[in-house]
Structure 1
């Protein structure tokens, strides 16, 4: 009766995974209701839009580009940032200037990293979570990881069922009947995946459903226009790849090559 033990393992895997998915979906729905009630009247700033679209690093990128557009920071095509005006107009700009250092010049890559994890960005994240627009740290991976567990459980049921069918079976237990017993937990897991596919909203690492709605309401212009607000909105929502100015694109492209070289060296 070893196959019975395998069947119990299959049910345990499928039942545990599906239960976790249901609990995660209920929690996500509760977070969405709270977010909608708190974030309905909120108007996004550019920094908030950047965080909801791309997280802390997008906020740092937006700050660098904004200061460069105002000629208060020089972003050279060689990948270096030079301070022109040392007086930051808000906390984000002051954190960038502080990350560049007292010499007033630094490679862009470490400036971006330091500014992304400075106190102003953390405070921004906390405000967005409190407003129901950003996903809390413990809520980002819950539904996605539960879905992965259900998929793994379905695969495990198939493996366990195949193993049971390959083993010697009692004479009073036909193999087709045994396969039907293993089909039941597999149907449970696949049903949960099918329901989640049609009912679950697309997951976002940073923005809650309410935050995604506000982001969707923003205009997404191309990066080559002359309107600074439209240009910066495009950078906030789409990232530095939306930059249409050759010098700025070269500066950030050099930053990415610098990061690749550093990763190869450290690896």
Structure 2
């Protein structure tokens, strides 16, 4: 019967998504504990570089955004509001900049999104991540993003349970199959819905905020002590971008360039 299939879909989706969230959250907790054990390797008074701040605040893509804006402000790269990057000075000042130039390609011009993706997966960013993980400042693999994705899956499962329950109510003659009228539908589909909502409630209490967990507890403490100056000199602008990302860019044309297209949404 159709209502049985809908009920199985509701239960299966809710159960699988909740198990996934529990496993991902447990892994994130273990990684955070492991990074906390490594705090003693962090020198007292350690000051984060801009690239380190960018990684701990937003991961690899934040590092790339910082590199792009740095090169743009220093007239080594032109970021157009149309979402294209053009090389002005082909001599990069460090390995990160040289990686950006190589990602743009021999033509000296490229759309920004593929450049961002290529540099984020390149050796200099991976080496930066490895150093921060070894120092106990970063969580391997950006565990917070995995938790955030798992939470979104559970939310989707909850919506699917509601949708399948509503569809069951619309099936002609479903009362005889479920053993009763609307109350029975609420009971049968209310259980997987309660499972999903309960899992979301526990996740919010235990692992919220879900995203932005590139930094370990030690790294988060360093970030909390990091003062972000008001926009002014180039270094101040770069520091703000490292912490807050594209939303810290005040130039509309530059912000449109980093979004990858005119009028795109902030990341």
State TM-score, norm by structure 1: 0.69
Q: Is the 8 A contact 1:83 1:97 kept in 2?
A: no
Unmatched runs of 5 consecutive residues or more in structure 1: none
Q: Which residue of 2 aligns with 1:170?
A: 176
Q: Which residue of 2 aligns with 1:212?
A: 220
2:193 counterpart of 1:189: no
Over 3 Å counting, the alpha-carbon distance change for 1:208 and 1:53 in structure 2 is closer
Q: Is the 8 A contact 1:76 1:251 kept in 2?
A: no
Q: Which residue of 2 aligns with 1:12?
A: 12
Over 3 Å counting, the alpha-carbon distance change for 1:206 and 1:13 in structure 2 is closer
Q: Distance in 1 between matches of 2:89 and 2:230?
A: 27
Name the SS for the 2:261 alignment partner.
helix
Over 3 Å counting, the alpha-carbon distance change for 1:131 and 1:173 in structure 2 is same
Q: Distance in 2 between matches of 1:184 and 1:101?
A: 55
Q: Is the 8 A contact 2:51 2:242 kept in 1?
A: yes
The alignment of Structure 1 onto Structure 2 pairs a total of residues equal to 249
Q: CA deviation at 1:130?
A: 3.9
Q: Which residue of 1 aligns with 2:158?
A: 154
Q: CA deviation at 1:117?
A: 4.8
Aligned CA-pair RMSD: 4.2
Q: Is the 8 A contact 1:77 1:250 kept in 2?
A: no
Larger CA deviation: 215-224 vs 153-162: 153-162
Q: Is the 8 A contact 1:60 1:115 kept in 2?
A: yes
Name the SS for the 1:18 alignment partner.
helix
Q: CA deviation at 1:87?
A: 7.7
Q: Is the 8 A contact 1:50 1:59 kept in 2?
A: yes
Q: Is the 8 A contact 1:10 1:160 kept in 2?
A: yes
Q: CA deviation at 1:195?
A: 2.1
Q: Is the 8 A contact 1:60 1:116 kept in 2?
A: yes
Over 3 Å counting, the alpha-carbon distance change for 1:172 and 1:181 in structure 2 is closer
Q: 1:128 aligns with which of 125, 128, 132?
A: 132
Q: CA deviation at 1:112?
A: 6.3
Structure with higher Rg: it is: 1
Q: CA deviation at 1:29?
A: 1.2
Q: Distance in 2 between matches of 1:253 and 1:183?
A: 45
Q: Which residue of 2 aligns with 1:29?
A: 29
Q: Distance in 2 between matches of 1:182 and 1:77?
A: 52
Q: Is the 8 A contact 1:221 1:234 kept in 2?
A: yes
Unmatched runs of 5 consecutive residues or more in structure 2: none
Larger CA deviation: 205-214 vs 31-40: 205-214
Over 3 Å counting, the alpha-carbon distance change for 1:126 and 1:29 in structure 2 is same
Q: Which residue of 2 aligns with 1:234?
A: 240
Q: Distance in 1 between matches of 2:68 and 2:177?
A: 74
Name the SS for the 1:260 alignment partner.
coil
Name the SS for the 1:170 alignment partner.
helix
Q: Which residue of 2 aligns with 1:260?
A: 261
Q: CA deviation at 1:218?
A: 0.7
Q: CA deviation at 1:188?
A: 1.7
Q: CA deviation at 1:199?
A: 2.7
Q: CA deviation at 1:219?
A: 0.6
Q: Is the 8 A contact 1:3 1:164 kept in 2?
A: yes
